[in-house]
Amino acid sequence: MHFPGRFADQFVPDQLERVSLSFLVDDLVIRRGGVAGNIAYAMGVLGERPLLVGAVGPDFADYRAELERVGVDCTRVHVCDDVHTARFMCTTDSDMRQIASFYTGAMARASEISLSEWVGGAGGPDLVLIGANDPDAMLRHTRECRELGVAFVADPSQQLARMEGPAIRQLVEGARYLITNDYEWELLLQKTGWTEAQVAERAEVRITTLGEHGAQLVGRDGFELKIGVVPETGKVDPTGVGDGFRAGFLAGIANGLSLERAGQLGSLVAVNVLETDGPQEWTWDRDSSVARLRDAYGPDAADEIAASLPTQS
């Protein structure tokens, strides 16, 4: 929502303990989001069939239909009849200051979901991404992946600020990929007390997104890659850009691309999200995408990645 004024003008300094305000907003935009939904949606657009796991409320029906339209498997989504799906509600004023609330809702029930019933057997997923969710659910699902011998991605993102070192260590131990942004990477080192070398002992590949500077991939065996960005045509909305990178990277890995090419595909999806208002409102055009890859990374990279891309718009 947008408030066409300044929040600062509405507060009386010596009356803050009695504050009671209502802001008349002039704009309301509702977007589908959430890290799992954003990543699954983008992977579906790229021709994959990701399996979405999470807890939602009975208000999820329209969202489910849109995800299934692009090929996302929602059969393992847990529906709680008595609470709403988690949501973030934000009002921005004319100074770009924000007042926001996050409603946990069904997300608090995610720890009730067990992966062991269907992960690890024939037909199960090759790779499980454990993203920001209810912390107890994140710990449970990480533990189940280790016990079942299923490869997983540790992607704690926003929950790093809430969780402490011992829990964060459990999320990272044994990961095939560890994904954070640059600030989260420093926070992870600080809270765990680990060095970079100690992280490498526990996660095969570390992926650190660097905003406008691209991404860094560091392997346990000592290799290091720097992935540049695909130049943007404009910055519209940064919400979900990191999720877009993850989706492109995972789609590339699923199609047998090298780490470098998968990272480049991730950068392509990320810039599509950046140039669009909302994390799932971007559109896919194969021809223009291949052209952008060629301009950013050269013809060899574009040809290799193009072989894994869907043809439909």
**Enzyme catalytic residues:** 243
3-state secondary structure of 273: helix
Contacts of 144-150 with C-beta under 8 Å, sequence gap 24+, read 144/114, 144/115, 144/116, 144/119, 145/115, 145/119, 145/174, 146/173, 146/174, 147/116, 148/115, 148/116, 148/119, 148/120, 149/120, 150/115, 150/119, 150/120, 150/124, 150/125
Residue found by looking up tokens 């608090």 in the block? 108
Query: At residue 261, what are phi and psi to the nearest 5 degrees?
Result: -65, -35
Write the burial class of residue 9 (CB in 10 Å: 0-12 exposed, 13-18 middle, 19+ buried): exposed
Q: Are 216 and 226 in contact (CB under 8 A)?
A: yes
Q: How far does Cα 152 stand from its chain's mean position? A: 14
168, two tokens? 């964060």
Quote the CA–CA distance of 81 and 144 in Å, as a whole number: 26
Residue 98's CB is within 10 A of a number of other CB atoms, namely 11
